Structure 1
Amino acid sequence: MSNPGEADATPIDPAQPAARQLADWFAAGCKPPADFRIGTEHESFGFRRDNFAPPPYAPDGIRAVLESVAAAEGIEPILDAGNPIGLKGRGFSISLEPGGQFELSGAPLASIHETKREIDAHIARVHRIGEALGLGFAPLGFHPTARRADFDWMPKGRYAIMRAYMQKVGTRGLDMMLRTCTVQANLDFASEADMVRKMRVGLALQPLATALFANGPFVEGRPNGLLSNRADAWLDTDNARAGIPRMVFEDGFGFERYADYMLDIPMYFVYRDGRYIDVSGKSFRDFIAGRLEGLAAEPATIGDFADHTTTTFPDVRLKRFIETRGADSGNPAMLLAQPALWTGLFYDDAALDAASALIRDLSWEQIVHLRDEVPRHGLDIALPTGTLRDLARDVLAIAADGLKSRARTNAAGEDERIYLAPLEAIAHGAPTQAEHWLGRYHGAWHGDATRIFAEAAL
Structure 2
Amino acid sequence: MSGPSAVKEVPITRREQLIEYMASGARPKDEWRIGTEHEKFGFRLDDLRAPTWEGERGIGALLEGLTRFGWEPVRENGYLIALSRGLASITLEPAGQLELSGAPLSTVHETCCEVTSHLREVKTVADELGLGFLGMGFQPKWAREEMPWMPKGRYAIMRRYMPLKGNLGLDMMTRTCTVQVNLDFGSEAQMAKMFRVSLALQPIATALFADSPFTEGKPNGFLSFRSNVWTDTDPDRTGMLDFVFEDGFGYERYVDYLLDVPMYFSYRDGKYIDLAGQSFRRFMDGKLDDLPGATPTLKDWADHMTTAFPEVRLKKYLEMRGADGGPWNRLCALPAFWVGLLYDDTALDAAWDLVKDFSLPERHALRDGVPRHGLKLPFRNASVRELALEALKISGHGLARRAQLNANGASEAVFLEPLIEFAQANQTPAERKLELFHGRWGGSIDPLFREFAY
Structure-2-length-normalised TM-score: 0.98
Residues 1:270 and 2:266 aligned together: yes
Corresponding position of 1:230:
226
Partner secondary structure for residue 258 of structure 1: helix
Corresponding position of 1:9:
9
Pairing partner for 2:326 from 330, 342, 346: 330
Correspondence 1:401-440 to 2 at 5 A: 401-429=397-425, 431-440=427-436
Corresponding position of 1:129:
125
* Mapped partners of 1:182, 1:340: distance in 2: 16
Residues 1:66 and 2:60 aligned together: no
Q: CA deviation at 1:456?
A: 1.3
8 Å contact kept, 2:185–2:317: yes
* Mapped partners of 2:185, 2:232: distance in 1: 30
Correspondence 1:2-151 to 2 at 5 A: 2-13=2-13, 16=14, 18=15, 20-59=16-55, 60-70=57-67, 72-151=68-147
* Aligned residue identity for 2:296: A
Q: CA deviation at 1:74?
A: 3.0
Q: CA deviation at 1:53?
A: 0.5
* Mapped partners of 1:93, 1:244: distance in 2: 28
Pairing partner for 1:156 from 125, 149, 152: 152
Off by >4 Å, runs of 4+ in structure 1: none
* Aligned residue identity for 1:61: G
Pairing partner for 2:198 from 190, 196, 202: 202
8 Å contact kept, 2:207–2:375: yes
Residues 1:190 and 2:153 aligned together: no
* Mapped partners of 2:158, 2:8: distance in 1: 23
8 Å contact kept, 1:3–1:78: no
What is the aligned residue count? 453
Q: CA deviation at 1:386?
A: 1.0
Residues 1:258 and 2:254 aligned together: yes
- 1:166-198 Cα deviation digits (max 9, x unpaired): 000000001100000000000000000010011
Q: CA deviation at 1:430?
A: 5.0
- Which 5+ residue runs of structure 1 have no aligned equivalent? none
Corresponding position of 1:167:
163
8 Å contact kept, 2:195–2:318: yes
Partner secondary structure for residue 424 of structure 1: helix
Partner secondary structure for residue 340 of structure 2: helix
Q: CA deviation at 1:297?
A: 2.3
Corresponding position of 1:383:
379
Corresponding position of 2:361:
365
* Mapped partners of 1:313, 1:236: distance in 2: 12
Deviates more, 1:294-303 or 1:330-339: 294-303
* Mapped partners of 1:189, 1:429: distance in 2: 34
* Mapped partners of 1:368, 1:135: distance in 2: 40
Partner secondary structure for residue 425 of structure 2: coil
- 1:365-413 Cα deviation digits (max 9, x unpaired): 2212211111111111111131100011111110011000100000000
Corresponding position of 1:286:
282
- Which 5+ residue runs of structure 2 have no aligned equivalent? none
* Aligned residue identity for 2:228: D
Deviates more, 1:183-192 or 1:74-83: 74-83
Partner secondary structure for residue 232 of structure 2: coil
Q: CA deviation at 1:298?
A: 1.7
- 1:133-169 Cα deviation digits (max 9, x unpaired): 0000001100010111111100000000001110000
Q: CA deviation at 1:66?
A: 0.7
Q: CA deviation at 1:6?
A: 2.1
Corresponding position of 2:313:
317
Corresponding position of 1:221:
217
- 1:93-131 Cα deviation digits (max 9, x unpaired): 000000100000001010011011101101111110111
- 1:44-77 Cα deviation digits (max 9, x unpaired): 000000011111111121000111112x123221
- 1:411-458 Cα deviation digits (max 9, x unpaired): 000000100001111111153210111111011111110110111111
* Aligned residue identity for 1:249: F
Corresponding position of 1:341:
337
* Aligned residue identity for 2:26: C
* Mapped partners of 1:160, 1:49: distance in 2: 28
Q: CA deviation at 1:8?
A: 1.6
Structure-1-length-normalised TM-score: 0.98
8 Å contact kept, 2:69–2:121: no
Identity %: 51
* Aligned residue identity for 1:277: I
* Mapped partners of 1:379, 1:359: distance in 2: 17
8 Å contact kept, 1:182–1:327: yes
* Mapped partners of 1:22, 1:50: distance in 2: 50
* Aligned residue identity for 1:75: W
Corresponding position of 1:176:
172
- 1:324-374 Cα deviation digits (max 9, x unpaired): 000000111111110000000010001001101110111222212211111
Deviates more, 1:103-112 or 1:376-385: 376-385
* Mapped partners of 1:146, 1:450: distance in 2: 11
* Aligned residue identity for 1:369: A
